[in-house]
Amino acid sequence: MINIRDYQEKDAAEVGLLIKNTFSQFNLDYLPPAEQEAFLGPFSFAGDGDPEHMAEIGRLIQSQFVYVAEDNGKIIGVLRGRVGRLGSLFVAESHHKRGAGRLLVERFERQILSRGGRVIRVASSLYAVPFYLKMGYKRSTGVRKSWSFNGYGFPIQPMRKVIHLE
């Protein structure tokens, strides 16, 4: 059973590795591995155990809202965002199309509504566009190229959703 909870500092290593692996596999797969490091930034060091790297990854994960999805005590998803912006969403491949992403986004949307927010924007990776469309998000412009750490040219699809009280 998937459980959604608030992120805790002790989750940084596991979340960092999840971000590194899913971002590489589903969003940077068009690049050779040597070129992916520029786009991964400090996340390229996730899993190496270096305390300085782990501290930097922990700082990067921080946001106004950070939620993790767990299945049997293992973190299988993470969402970061703030009022008006969904910053990032990563779900382990083993849990794609099993509801973890939906549960994370629904929790985030409820939190935004409770804070008076009515519109959420996201710079979606092309891989995630079908997911966000199913969640009610709409494309707001055409595909753009964006920065990710030291890498430029990452294709994104700007999207938005007007959320309503139910």
In the structure, what pLDDT confidence band is assigned to residue 9 with cuts at 50, 70 and 90?
Answer: very high
Distance of CA 150 to the CA centre of its chain: 18
How large a percentage of the chain has pLDDT more than 90?
Answer: 96
pTM: 0.95
Rounded distance, CA 21 to CA 99, Å?
19
Q: pLDDT at residue 129 above 70?
A: yes
Output the DSSP codes for 14-58: HHHHHHHHHIIIIISTTS-HHHHHHHHGGGGGTTS--HHHHHHHH
Please state the rounded mean pLDDT for residues 132-159.
96
In the structure, what pLDDT confidence band is assigned to residue 33 with cuts at 50, 70 and 90?
Answer: confident
Q: Which two tokens stand for residue 137?
A: 């998000």
In the chain, where are the structural domains located? 2-118
Given this model, what pLDDT does residue 164 score?
83
Given this model, what pLDDT does residue 166 score?
64
* HSE of 25, CA atoms in CB hemisphere, 13 A: 12
Question: What's the whole-number average pLDDT of the chain?
Answer: 96
Give the domain 2-118 fold.
Aminopeptidase (3.40.630)
| Contact present, 7 and 15 (Cβ < 8 Å) | yes
Q: pLDDT at residue 140 above 90?
A: yes
Rounded distance, CA 53 to CA 20, Å?
13
What residue type is 149 in one-letter code?
Answer: F
pLDDT tens column, 65-107 = 999 999 999 999 999 999 999 999 999 999 999 999 999 999 9
Tabulate helix, strand, coil % of the chain (nearest 5). Answer: 40, 35, 25
Rounded distance, CA 49 to CA 38, Å?
20
